[in-house]
Amino acid sequence: MKKKLVGMLLTAAMVVGLVAGCGSSGGGESSEADSAEDSGTEASEDAGEGVTLTYWGWDSNYYEPMFEAYMASHPDVKIEATAVEWGDMLTKVQQALASGSELPTMFGMDFALIENWKDMDVCEDLTAYGFDKSEYVEILVEKASTEDGKVIGCVENVCPAGIAYKRDLAKEYFGTDDPDELSAMFNSYDAYAEKGAEVYDKSEGKVHLFHSGQAVAEWLYFASDVENQTGDTLNYTDKMTDILSTLIKLRDANAVDSYQNGTAEANATYAGSEHIFFPCPDWAITYYVEANDPDGSGNWGIIKAPVSYSHGGTCLGITKQSTDEQKQAAFDFIKWATQEEEGVNVAKDKAGYITAYTKYTYDPDFIKRADEDFFGGQNISELFYKEIVEEMDIAPASPWDNSITSVRNDLAQQLMDDKSMTLEKALEIGQEQLEQLVTDDSITIK
């Protein structure tokens, strides 16, 4: 009986597997990406001949609506997207390169790791297609440029960052939820430490200013003006001291909780009532704040950080492997997405992204975000795209940023888990880790 049952189950599973595994694709599924693909197929068929572009990326909140809108207005182009998890992107591309496997026509590159992408030398120079560097926010386009002036990718959005806060908690603990008053109150890292200690005591240890030591370290990393690399030297000690000394000050004042950044538990704190501030680049408004606290409309505000900074972002690059027709079509898409009225509006309305194309970035009418009600009607558009964009700076990237970031994350969590760990001890541990990760003998870690 049992034998029969096993046989039946395996046979049934095999049949289902064969049907699903070998059957024609798209049999009734209706993901946004698939529907985008489907609509592209139809469009392609309607138009007769067309060009198919492929894309790898993780930022589906951006690429899905963008591809859908582009294919609707450009029926001769079909874009097929493959979602690749952010942390796997470099591995996947490196392995495809090493084995000579196919790369997509376009991919999303983490702007913070742009030097690694430059090193791989897989991207077309966008200037060869008419990309005018002077038309984009200078510090961003420079970061995506190589020493010989080639531009390997176009940033999807300008990425100013501030500090988001919960209005009800701010009112309860600081007596005001007004962004100007709070900005004045929190104008230095010392002020965060001082107020953090007060809040912690007042709430009897329940409320912290920030939810995650890693998130705070990430903020301080992007806000730091210490360059990661000068010549053949990695300025590890200077950079980490700049970040970790402030983190330790905040930790010792009980201003920071110990959630691991980006985990489901950490994301759930956005909707909770035990953390007041969250470091917040503009892309995190849709990605983190609104997504994690959908019922929190009106209860959020944003203030400037003590040092205005830019955080993260994604660059769109075109691979050298693609055909000339694909490359041109991909560039046309990038131009549409970042320069043309239809594209920049879809990016703004659907993903909350403001293009780095200065014609729009500095246009006070264009930058008006549709989600200001979520922030209690605060004019966050002007705050982000006028005040912070004008003040923010970006420290140059290095090819070792991936390793430095990994060490930073690890140290931040260790400091939060072991409250007695000193800066010296953390620096020592980090130095050892970094020496393991940096495989180039010509690089000195200082």
Partner 1 sequence: MRKVKSALTALLLAVISFVSVIPFWFMFSMSTYKSELIFQGTPIFPSDYFGENLKTIFASNFVQSYGNSLFISIVSMLISVIICAMVGYAMNVYQFRFKKGLHLFIMMTMMVPSQIGIIGYMIEMRNMGLNTTLWPMIFTWFANGFGAYWMISFIQSSLPLELVESARIDGASEVKIFRSIVIPCIRPGLLTLCLLIFLWSWNNYMIPLVFVNNANNYTIPIFIKSLASAYRTDSGAQLAGLTLATIPLLALFIVGSKSFIKGLTAGAVKG
- List interacting residues with partner 1 (CB under 8 A): 2, 5-6, 9-10, 13-14, 16-23, 25-34, 37, 54, 56, 58-61, 64, 80-86, 88, 91-92, 95-96, 98-102, 104, 264-265, 267-272, 287-288, 291-295
Coil, helix or strand at residue 371: coil
Nearest distance in Å: CB 131, partner 1: 26
Query: Residues 176-181: contacts with CB within 8 Å, 24+ apart?
Result: 177/301, 177/376, 179/301, 179/302, 179/303, 179/378, 179/383
Nearer to partner 1, 294 or 377 (CB): 294
Residue 106 or 383 having the CB closest to partner 1: 106
Q: Which H/E stretch holds residue 36?
A: helix 32-47
Instruction: Specify the residue, 61 or 187, whose C-beta has the smaller distance to partner 1.
Output: 61
Burial (CB count within 10 angstroms: exposed 0-12, middle 13-18, buried 19+), residue 177: buried
Whole-number Å distance between alpha carbons of 418 and 23: 54
Enclosing H/E stretch for 160: strand 160-166
Nearest to 220 by CA among 163, 147, 142: 163
In the complex, minimum distance from the CB of residue 246 to partner 1, in angstroms, rounded to a whole number: 27
User: Of 298, 280, 278, 277, which Cα lies nearest the Cα of 371?
Assistant: 298
Please identify, using beta-carbon distances, which residue of 10 and 128 lies nearer to partner 1: 10
Q: Which is nearer to partner 1, 96 or 185 (CB)?
A: 96
Quick one: residue 442, left, alpha or beta (phi over 0 = left, psi -120 to 50 = alpha)? alpha
Which residue, chain included where needed, has tokens 């007769």?
48
For partner 1, the closer CB: 180 or 274: 274
Nearer to partner 1, 39 or 245 (CB): 39
The least CB distance from residue 293 to partner 1, in Å, is 7
Neighbours of 16 (CB within 10 A): 10
Shortest separation between residue 338's beta carbon and partner 1, angstroms: 22
Element (H, E) at 445: strand 444-445
> Could you tell me if 400 and 240 are in contact, meaning their C-beta atoms sit under 8 angstroms apart?
no
Residue 159 beta carbon to partner 1: minimum distance, rounded to whole angstroms: 17
Distance separating alpha carbons of residues 167 and 164, to the nearest angstrom: 9
Least distance from C-beta 149 to partner 1, angstroms? Answer: 32
- At residue 310, the 3 state secondary structure works out as strand
Using the minimum distance from each CB to partner 1, give the nearer residue, 134 or 439. Answer: 439
Compute the least distance from the CB of residue 265 to partner 1, in Å.
5
Please say which residue, 91 or 233, places its beta carbon nearer to partner 1.
91
Distance CA 377, CA 383 (A): 12
- Min. distance of Cβ 139 from partner 1 in angstroms? 27
Nearest approach in angstroms of CB 169 to partner 1 is 16
Q: Under DSSP, is residue 65 helix (H, G, I), strand (E, B) or coil?
A: helix
